[in-house]
Amino acid sequence: MSHLKLHIPGPVEISQKTFKAFSTPMVGHRGQKFKDLYGRIQPRLQKLFKTQGLVYLSTSSAWGVMEGSLRNLVKKKVLNCMCGAFSDKWFDVSQRCGKEADSLKVDWGSPILPAMIDEKLATGQYDVLTLVHNETSTGVMSPLGDIASLKSKYPEVMFIVDTVSSFSVVDIPFDSLGIDVLLTGSQKALALPPGLGLFTVSKAALERASTVNDRGYYFDFCEFEKNAAKSMTPSTPSIGHIYALESKLEDIFEEGIQNRWDRHADLAQMTRDWAARNDFTLFPEKGYESNALTCINNGAKAGGRIIDVAKLQGLVKDQGIMMDGGYGKIKGATFRLSNMGDETEETMNHLFQVLDECLKKL
Ligand SMILES: *Cc1c(COP(=O)(O)O)cnc(C)c1O
């Protein structure tokens, strides 16, 4: 079977080792074997999330937990920070859940900054804030540490943070940040097959959830806590994913978490250098470029080279690689190169070599 190597920002390429673990024969999800599996990986998950609390496993894509977090925590009004396709959609999802919601909106390509949030929260209208740490559509990473430091000023506001494309790419220490929900998905930075959400919540978030009547069942934080305490999940999980996760955690701790962060930083810098060498400019505002993927302008901003992105995608595909052609309203005006997951200097250099050759043919 012919396979295109995925260099799109999710789902990303999955290793053979991960696939092998994913296809481990099933066990009963209420039996000791499953509890042993979850029990084995819990300490490693806690180390990665940097939390004393329990890490929950949700059989859903990240959106399940993103929507579920709103349903568990919003009583008054949510402030949705919007700076790209995923964060913009979160505002829409708030409304679809029937929640009172306001948007804090910046232009795509710009980050969310603490002063903007401070000004909004100072009105006292909000009890929940949503933030996408790394906007995968624009390649912008907002300054999470600075934003999280607002939490001490607004302890009653629940800070929900999506780290789908930044988790394990950069250090995100849940307990010391003091935020309330940290969530990620399987198919991006963790390089697992799509379909698993991973998250942890603060004690305050569990307390808030327990007072919300219509939080539903499937994503009920209280159910996740109660079950995780017994190394179980509320409903039957995707067990294959959890074996794959165990295998991936082995990889991560074998490499060393600091080495993993450094590798992503180096590979993202290589990608920015490749763009500069080829007369392309970057879409993100300077200083906020993601370490997980690079969003490159196709003449959308002054000074950049202009190419036929769709044609480039086709040529790159002929060489066995799937690349991205821009997301949502910046499709064609940008394209994105991912260095998330298992990429190495060697695989990135191969991508650049293929791109160089294909650019000559445009
Ligand atoms: C991909 C992505 C999501 C959505 O993930 P699904 O797995 O499709 O639910 C949410 N947030 C960010 C930042 C993403 O990159």
* pLDDT class of 106 with cuts at 50, 70, 90: very high
Residue 162 near ligand 1, beta carbon < 6 Å = yes
Average pLDDT over residues 27-45: 98
Strands 321-322 and 334-338: unpaired
pLDDT at 92 over 70: yes
Angle at which helices 221-228 and 203-210 cross, to 10°: 120
261 vs 141, 181, 340, 355, CA distance in Å? Answer: 14, 22, 11, 25
pLDDT at 240 over 80: yes
Residue 62 near ligand 1, beta carbon < 6 Å = yes
Which residue is closest in CA terms to ligand 1's atom 12? 164
Average pLDDT over residues 184-210: 98
Residue 10 near ligand 1, beta carbon < 6 Å = yes
Instruction: Provide the token pair at 16.
Output: 């053979």
Ligand 1 centroid–CA 280 distance in Å is: 26
Residues 112-168: tens digit of each pLDDT: 999 999 999 999 999 999 999 999 999 999 999 999 999 999 999 999 999 999 999
Share of the chain above pLDDT 70, in %: 99
183 vs 107, 153, 267, CA distance in Å? Answer: 24, 23, 24
State the pLDDT at residue 174.
98
Residue 164 near ligand 1, beta carbon < 6 Å = yes
Distance, in Å, from the CA atom of 92 to the CA atom of 98, rounded to the nearest integer, reads: 10
Does this model's pTM top 0.85? My answer is yes
Residues 297-344: tens digit of each pLDDT: 998 566 778 999 999 999 999 999 999 999 999 999 999 999 999 999
Ligand 1 centroid–CA 197 distance in Å is: 10
On whether the CB atoms of residues 111 and 84 are closer than 8 A, the answer is: no
pLDDT at 28 over 90: yes
On whether the CB atoms of residues 293 and 165 are closer than 8 A, the answer is: yes
Residues 266-296: tens digit of each pLDDT: 999 999 999 999 999 999 999 999 999 999 9
Provide the 8-state DSSP code for 280.
Answer: P
Ligand 1 centroid–CA 164 distance in Å is: 6
CA end-to-end span of the chain: 29
Ligand 1 centroid–CA 292 distance in Å is: 13
State the pLDDT at residue 268.
98
Q: Give the type of residue at 84.
A: G
Residue 86 near ligand 1, beta carbon < 6 Å = yes
Average pLDDT over residues 239-251: 98
State the pLDDT at residue 301.
64
